[in-house]
Amino acid sequence: MSSIVVDHASRWFRNVVALNDVSMTIGPGVTGLLGPNGAGKSTLIALMSGFLAPSSGSVTLDGEPLWRNEQVYRRLGLVPEREALFDHLTGRQFVVACGELHGLPDPGAAAQRAIATIEMTEAQDRSISTYSKGMRQRIKMASALVHDPAVLLLDEPFNGMDPRQRLHLMELLRTMGAEGRTVLFSSHILEEVEQVARHIEVVVAGRHAASGDFGAIRRLMTDRPNRFVIRSGSDRTLASVLLADASVRGVRLRPEGGLEVEASDFGRFSEVLPRLAREHAVRLHEVTPTDESLESVFSYLVSS
């Protein structure tokens, strides 16, 4: 059982702050690191895998610093986001080489085990240059698993995978978490994270925005105020009846026609709107959420 402790870690590149005073503990089980692109997820994973020094604060694995400490890789496996591999090798040669670099007593057997785990046995003797994106992702996984590490860090592992491979990797991560390994993976897709991770850490704009079990994070994300643009047969009538309802926080008539509505309770609003429209005989032409983008969800989390 190993854990990574990030203690008030910040990282800046010249005058750009990539990570701002982040503290978190990643323990056994699967943790999802969620955040929009550019939020600092990769920076955080680089800190946790010893490939970046914190500008201030500390990052440790079981009390040992990760920076300039190659011995930590005996217990840690890393699946980087970048695609590049040793393309001139076959999958098997690559994983065996990784086993040798880890100083394993029987790298061949360890490679076979790792390759079987990620179901690449059939393609293992093909050159990596012929692999699809998903196969590359899996052979990267095998290279990170070859020494049976207690900690596994994966940077955007689901990128480029087809749905079947995705399900398989999710299953694999769940199994490894259940075995007591410390597994952390990053993603910018909430649905992806909550299918696998028991625990979620949210990073937005370099800050640690939220932390908790996926139910709590899900509620945080869906209970925020939502904005909609509504076009209807009678905007003014609809505006007045909507404003009377507790789920609506504000209504504005748009000069070009239509209504802008801010709802504080999405669940209730989605039920109230059609009912009120029917009761007052207002025909709804269009209901469009205006801030459904992930970025707006995340920025709400930061401000709350």
Contacting positions for other proteins (CB under 8 A): 13, 42-43, 46, 49, 51-53, 67-68, 70-71, 73-74, 76-78, 80, 82-89, 94, 97-98, 100-103, 143-144
Closest approach of other proteins to the CB of residue 102, in Å: 5
Closest CB to other proteins among 76 and 242?
76
Q: Which helix (H) or strand (E) holds 236?
A: helix 235-243
Closest approach of other proteins to the CB of residue 160, in Å: 16
Closest CB to other proteins among 58 and 195?
58
| Burial of residue 230, with CB atoms counted within 10 A of its CB: 0-12 exposed, 13-18 middle, 19 or more buried | buried
Closest approach of other proteins to the CB of residue 45, in Å: 8
Closest CB to other proteins among 89 and 302?
89
Nearest to 30 by CA among 133, 158, 173, 172: 173
Closest approach of other proteins to the CB of residue 213, in Å: 29
Closest CB to other proteins among 64 and 213?
64
Q: Which two tokens stand for residue 225?
A: 């105020």
Q: Which two tokens stand for residue 76?
A: 């840690």
Per the listing, tokens 């995705």 go with 166
Cβ contact 65:59 at 8 Å: yes
Closest approach of other proteins to the CB of residue 163, in Å: 27
State the helix-helix crossing angle for 133-145 and 163-178, rounded to 10 degrees: 10
| Burial of residue 172, with CB atoms counted within 10 A of its CB: 0-12 exposed, 13-18 middle, 19 or more buried | buried
Closest CB to other proteins among 13 and 253?
13
C-alpha span between 141 and 246 (Å, rounded): 50
Closest approach of other proteins to the CB of residue 186, in Å: 12
Closest CB to other proteins among 83 and 171?
83
Closest approach of other proteins to the CB of residue 94, in Å: 8
Closest CB to other proteins among 66 and 273?
66
In 142-218, at which residue ranges do the beta strands (DSSP E only) sit? 151-154, 182-187, 199-204, 207-213
| Burial of residue 264, with CB atoms counted within 10 A of its CB: 0-12 exposed, 13-18 middle, 19 or more buried | middle
